[in-house]
């Protein structure tokens, strides 16, 4: 590996540990919701580290936080790296933040050997990737890539009725730079897998070839409110029991799409709920995923048919609202090849993998050439306080990111310090 660049693994681990203290939870995880006070502190720390690394820092109109290491060609479009600093309400220490701080470590490693690059190298921490506070997920990158208008994004409200625009102002994150129309050479994102495949296969690096299709729905079930103590069971139109039957039927019919098809009911809410009142209005969410768009179309048809059949048998009203779609997205072959080449030269075990989770890279892939680097996470856990990754895997992923990005950006290392 004489001709390969290397990051400082212990330095990256210290950065991850320090960032994890912001919003740390009692269970060992992190709560750093988008544009919260904790997110503001995380952004501030990251921006300070970037400035200390000699980078120029700015934010755009949707709060995406950028930092730039200058290239020798001031007119060249930058090679962009990034991910996000926001977390789930009970999130982990690596989801998102690993990609941001691995990118910072790339810049630090280039500084260590006084390397220059022809193209500038940028880092971005995207706003509201998780979608835990504002819907949809990957909101900042969606606006950047033109998949969502700025006005629509700024008007989105959280559960307390606070608009994203107001939260940007409270957080001090609203920038003046235009969010759209920015020239980007390419985009690279490092991330934990968020699943068990790499660990189960004993693989160090996942060379990500693209992202699977995702579709979100809200299922509204309408019954009749009635007294819990005076209404015989045969006369009831109970929205909850109907929804429970729908959930089981959805699970049954989606089994025909295994192992690639996935269905999740992640939220359920009874409107005006009371302990002694039969549920009349209930909403539950459905998340459908498959690597093939045509298969996802079929899954949606089966979802709608299953809910309609159960609703009809119980005399319940059913309305299914489509909330969001992310189509299956292949990554750029040339950028994927740079990742694969870096992995091979570094000598890490690796495999091709499709991303099961949504990432900012999915939006960026429709905007500029894009690739991702996956590392294993312990027990495949993510969106969980127990989320973890091994230091050696953290280092390996950052080394792959470094060498792929350096190659794309046109790196030169002075002979006196050449590695």
Domain ranges of the chain: 9-212+328-417, 213-326
Mean of per-residue pLDDT scores for the chain: 96
Question: Does 359 show up as a binding residue in the annotation?
Answer: no
Question: CB of 173 within 8 A of CB of 84?
Answer: no
CATH number of 213-326: 3.30.70.360
pLDDT in tens, 258-306: 999 999 999 999 999 999 999 999 999 999 999 999 999 999 999 999 9
Rounded to an integer, the average pLDDT of 380-408 is: 97
Please report which confidence band the pLDDT of residue 417 belongs to, taking 50, 70 and 90 as the band edges.
Answer: low
pLDDT in tens, 345-364: 999 999 999 998 889 999 99
Q: Rounded distance, CA 134 to CA 115, Å?
A: 40
Q: Give every CB contact of residue 290 below 8 A, 6+ residues apart in sequence.
A: 212, 213, 257, 260, 261, 262, 296, 299, 328
Q: Rounded distance, CA 139 to CA 127, Å?
A: 7
pLDDT over 70 (residue 16): yes
Structure tokens belonging to residue 53: 């690394």
Question: Does 220 show up as a binding residue in the annotation?
Answer: no
Q: Rounded distance, CA 191 to CA 130, Å?
A: 13
Class of domain 9-212+328-417: alpha beta
pLDDT over 90 (residue 9): yes
Question: Does 393 show up as a binding residue in the annotation?
Answer: no
Question: Does 191 show up as a binding residue in the annotation?
Answer: yes
Question: CB of 18 within 8 A of CB of 41?
Answer: no
pTM of the model: 0.87
Longest dimension (CA), the chain: 87
Q: What share of the chain is helix, strand, coil (3-state, %, to 5)?
A: 35, 25, 40
Question: Does 118 show up as a binding residue in the annotation?
Answer: no
pLDDT in tens, 155-169: 999 999 999 999 999
The pLDDT value recorded for residue 326 is 84
pLDDT over 70 (residue 418): no
Please report which confidence band the pLDDT of residue 1 belongs to, taking 50, 70 and 90 as the band edges.
Answer: very low
Respond yes or no on whether the N-terminal peptide bond of residue 227 is cis (omega within 30° of 0). Answer: no
Structure tokens belonging to residue 144: 């950047």
Rounded to an integer, the average pLDDT of 235-264 is: 97
The pLDDT value recorded for residue 419 is 55
Question: CB of 62 within 8 A of CB of 134?
Answer: no
Same fold, 9-212+328-417 and 213-326: no
Rounded to an integer, the average pLDDT of 33-57 is: 98
Q: Name the DSSP class of 379.
A: G
φ, ψ for residue 147, nearest 5 deg: -85, -10
Question: CB of 401 within 8 A of CB of 373?
Answer: yes
151 CB burial (10 A radius; 0-12, 13-18, 19+): exposed
The pLDDT value recorded for residue 356 is 87
Please report which confidence band the pLDDT of residue 324 belongs to, taking 50, 70 and 90 as the band edges.
Answer: confident
């Amino acid at each position: 590996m004489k001709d390969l660049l290397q990051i400082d693994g212990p330095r990256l681990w210290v950065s991850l540990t320090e960032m994890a203290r912001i919003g740390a939870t009692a269970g060992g995880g992190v709560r750093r919701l988008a544009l919260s006070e904790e997110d503001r502190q995380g952004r501030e720390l990251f921006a300070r580290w970037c400035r200390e690394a000699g980078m120029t820092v700015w934010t755009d109109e949707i709060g995406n936080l950028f930092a730039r290491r200058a290239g020798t060609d001031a007119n060249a479009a930058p090679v962009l790296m990034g991910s996000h600093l926001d977390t789930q309400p009970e999130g982990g220490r690596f989801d998102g933040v690993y990609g941001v701080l691995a990118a910072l470590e790339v810049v630090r490693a280039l500084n260590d050997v006084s390397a220059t690059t022809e193209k500038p190298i940028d880092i971005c921490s995207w706003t509201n990737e998780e979608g835990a506070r504002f819907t949809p997920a990957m909101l900042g990158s969606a606006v950047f890539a033109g998949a969502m208008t700025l006005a629509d994004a700024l008007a989105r409200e959280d559960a307390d009725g606070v608009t994203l625009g107001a939260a940007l102002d409270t957080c001090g994150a609203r920038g003046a730079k235009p969010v759209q129309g920015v020239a980007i050479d390419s985009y690279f994102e490092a991330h934990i897998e968020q699943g068990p495949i790499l660990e189960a296969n004993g693989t160090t690096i996942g060379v990500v070839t693209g992202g699977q299709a995702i579709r979100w729905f809200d299922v509204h079930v309408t019954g009749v409110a009635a007294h819990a103590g005076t209404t015989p069971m045969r006369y009831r139109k109970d929205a909850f029991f109907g929804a429970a039957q729908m959930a089981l039927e959805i699970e049954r019919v989606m089994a025909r799409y295994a192992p690639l098809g996935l269905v999740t009911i992640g939220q359920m809410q009874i409107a005006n709920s009371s302990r002694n009142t039969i549920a009349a209005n209930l909403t539950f969410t459905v998340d459908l995923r498959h690597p093939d768009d045509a298969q996802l179309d079929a899954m949606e048809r089966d979802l709608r048919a299953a809910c309609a059949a159960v609703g009809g048998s119980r005399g319940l009203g059913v309305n299914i609202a489509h909330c969001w779609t992310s189509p299956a997205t292949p990554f750029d072959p040339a950028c994927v090849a740079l990742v694969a080449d870096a992995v091979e030269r570094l000598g890490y075990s690796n495999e091709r993998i499709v991303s099961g989770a949504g990432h900012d890279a999915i939006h960026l892939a429709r905007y500029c050439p894009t690739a991702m680097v996956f590392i294993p996470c312990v027990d495949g856990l993510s969106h969980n306080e127990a989320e973890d990754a091994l230091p050696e895997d953290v280092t390996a992923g950052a080394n792959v990111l470094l060498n792929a990005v350096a190659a794309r950006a046109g790196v030169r290392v002075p002979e006196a310090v050449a590695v």
